[in-house]
Amino acid sequence: MGPSSLVAETVWKEIESTHSVTDDQISIMHFLFGKNFERATRIVDQRGVKRIVGEPSGRWIFQVVGESRKKEEYFCFAEHYCACYSFFYDIVNRGEQLCCKHQLAARLAASVGACVEVKVSDEQLALLLSKL
Ligand SMILES: [Zn+2]
C-alpha cells in the first residue's frame, strides 16, 4: 500500500466507526480521490448502492448504479473489484487511481448505513457471481 492509500484507510476507519462524514474527512477524500469522490457521494445520495445479501450464508456483494443515462449497474467489491470499464482501464492497467467511483460509493454507503439491502438465496447469489 502506498502512503495515500494508508491515509484513505485511516479516514475510512474513522467514518466506519462514527457512521458519519465530517467536512474535514470530505476534504481529505476529495484530495485523494478527486472527482470520483464527488461522484460517489452523488450515487450514495441517490440511494444507488444495493447490498445483495445471500441467505443463509450472509455472503454479500454490492451492486452500484452508474451515472450515465442508461443507469447500468455494476457488481462491485468495495476493496478489490468492480465490473466497470474504469476499474480495468484506470486502475488495473494503468495504476493511476486507488479505486473507481462505484467502489467509493459502496464503501461510503456501507460506512454511513445508506445501502439498500436486498436479500436473495445463496443459489441466486452464486448465479449472479457466476456472471461476473
Ligand atoms: Zn466501478
- What's the 88 CA to ligand 1 centre distance in angstroms? 9
pLDDT tens column, 40-78: 999 999 999 999 999 999 999 999 999 887 778 999 998
Rounded to whole angstroms, the Cα distance separating 101 from 82 reads 9
- What's the 101 CA to ligand 1 centre distance in angstroms? 6
- What's the 16 CA to ligand 1 centre distance in angstroms? 21
Q: Strand 116-121 relative to strand 49-55: parallel, antiparallel, unpaired?
A: parallel
Q: Residue type for 9, please? A: E
Least confident of 1-5, 26-30, 47-51: 1-5
Domain limits, the chain: 3-130
CB 49 within 8 A of CB 114: yes
pLDDT value of position 1: 56
Rounded to whole angstroms, the Cα distance separating 19 from 15 reads 5
Average confidence (pLDDT) over 71-88: 90
Q: What is the mean pLDDT of the chain?
A: 91
Share of the chain above pLDDT 70, in %: 98
pLDDT(97) > 80 = no
The span from the first CA to the last CA of the chain, in angstroms, equals: 26
The residue behind cell 451515472 is 67
- What's the 118 CA to ligand 1 centre distance in angstroms? 20
For residue 62, give the nearest of 3, 7, 111 by alpha carbon: 111
- What's the 109 CA to ligand 1 centre distance in angstroms? 14
